[in-house]
């Protein structure tokens, strides 16, 4: 019976063996939260001057590695706490369905942290050693998100922590290492992206609400209910696009940034795909669409800044 359930979940999620196991373990649909902020921060810096492309690529890789390590820690500690089972949908499934040893996943996460630390040293050498302090804090928060005695992911503050860290902080770091300065405008510009990245976390928690409630987690959807959480996400999307429009009107963002509103269509599909759904598998399209919304918005916003540099 356990084998049958395991097989049914794997079939429903279209899970395959081999390389696909390791790729799925990285939770690629969440990695949009890594490269989008680096791209926006760098393009904002480029709009105001020149750009060090090697520094940009180094920051991009370091950000992706930290995000990937965080995902691995998430899978490891959720398994250790008994929150992940063979029927769990919102996981890579590497431990409970593919048989990869938990220790292997934890060691891989620490290895990725080590590589990102080496990349961080280079970034500090060509920019500022203050980045080391911030970078170490980011790595610590990434670990504490699911590790430690009171993981952030089990509280109502997971969305705020992920949005602030991966959105505002990464955008500001990416801007600072290129320009050597930090302005109020770049902080303001980061807010919509912070909201979209936090929404990726919120979408994950909406999908996993029932399982999280059974596991004793106190996430936002557990506390306020699934439907209210979806309404809250709708409000967040409205605020994010509303801020973008305001920034364009005030001249904080160029007129070209209007192209980022193409993401509105995907944001609408997120809400539609969540409404009325109760099963995790039914909500997978909405979860993925949330990440795509962030990707479309972030890439088009960054492109609009790049266009404005040349015009």
Task: Look up the CATH number of the domain holding residue 64.
Answer: 1.10.600
Confirm whether 152 is domain-assigned. Answer: yes
- Name the stretches of the chain with pLDDT < 70: 1-27, 29, 82-99
Residue 4 to residue 23: CA distance in whole angstroms: 24
Confirm whether 234 is domain-assigned. Answer: yes
C-alpha distance from residue 201 to each of 18, 85, 219 (Å): 28, 20, 10
The token pair at 13 is 């999620």
Confirm whether 267 is domain-assigned. Answer: yes
Q: What angle do CA 213, 214, 219 make, to 5 degrees?
A: 20
Give the pLDDT confidence score for residue 26 in this predicted structure: 67
pLDDT (tens digit per residue) in 47-88: 988 899 999 999 999 999 988 888 888 888 777 776 555 555
Confirm whether 8 is domain-assigned. Answer: no
Domain that holds residue 116: 16-310
Give the pLDDT confidence score for residue 306 in this predicted structure: 94
Number of domains in the chain: 1
Residue 34 to residue 159: CA distance in whole angstroms: 15
Give the pLDDT confidence score for residue 300 in this predicted structure: 97
Q: What is the DSSP letter of 98?
A: T
Give the pLDDT confidence score for residue 168 in this predicted structure: 94
Give the pLDDT confidence score for residue 211 in this predicted structure: 84
Task: Please list, in sequence order, all residues whose beta carbon lies within 8 angstroms of the beta carbon of residue 48, skipping any fewer than 6 positions away.
Answer: 179
Q: What is the DSSP letter of 250?
A: H
Residue 280 to residue 93: CA distance in whole angstroms: 14
Confirm whether 139 is domain-assigned. Answer: yes
Confirm whether 102 is domain-assigned. Answer: yes
Confirm whether 9 is domain-assigned. Answer: no
Confirm whether 2 is domain-assigned. Answer: no
Residue with tokens 């105001």: 48
H/E stretch holding 299 reads helix 280-310
C-alpha distance from residue 102 to each of 69, 113, 141, 167 (Å): 14, 17, 21, 29
Give the pLDDT confidence score for residue 76 in this predicted structure: 81
């Amino acid at each position: 019976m356990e084998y049958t359930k395991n097989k049914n979940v794997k079939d429903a999620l279209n899970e395959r063996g081999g390389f696909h196991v390791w790729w799925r373990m990285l939770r690629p649909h969440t990695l949009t939260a890594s490269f989008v902020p680096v791209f926006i921060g760098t393009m904002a810096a480029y709009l105001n001057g020149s750009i060090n492309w090697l520094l940009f690529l180094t920051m991009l890789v370091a950000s992706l590695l930290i995000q990937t390590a965080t995902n691995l820690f998430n899978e490891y500690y959720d398994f250790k706490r008994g929150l992940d089972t063979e029927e769990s949908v919102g996981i890579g499934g590497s431990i409970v369905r593919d048989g990869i040893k938990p220790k292997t996943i934890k060691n891989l996460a620490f290895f990725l942290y080590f590589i990102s630390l080496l990349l961080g040293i280079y970034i500090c050498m060509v920019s500022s050693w203050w980045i080391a302090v911030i970078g170490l804090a980011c790595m610590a928060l990434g670990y504490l998100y699911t590790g430690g005695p009171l993981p952030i992911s089990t509280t109502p503050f997971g969305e705020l922590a992920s949005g602030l860290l991966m959105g505002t902080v990464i955008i500001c770091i990416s801007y600072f290492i290129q320009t050597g300065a930090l302005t109020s405008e770049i902080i303001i510009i980061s807010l919509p992206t912070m909201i979209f990245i936090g929404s990726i976390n919120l979408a994950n928690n909406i999908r996993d609400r029932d399982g999280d409630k059974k596991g004793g987690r106190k996430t936002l959807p557990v506390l306020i209910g699934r439907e209210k959480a979806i309404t809250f996400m709708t409000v967040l999307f409205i605020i994010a696009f509303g801020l973008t429009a305001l920034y364009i009107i005030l001249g904080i963002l160029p007129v070209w940034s209007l192209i980022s509103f193409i993401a509105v269509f995907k944001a609408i599909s997120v809400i539609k795909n969540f409404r009325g759904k109760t099963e995790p598998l039914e909500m997978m399209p909405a979860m993925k669409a949330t990440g795509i919304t962030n990707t479309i918005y972030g890439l088009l916003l960054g492109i609009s800044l790049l266009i404005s540099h040349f015009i």
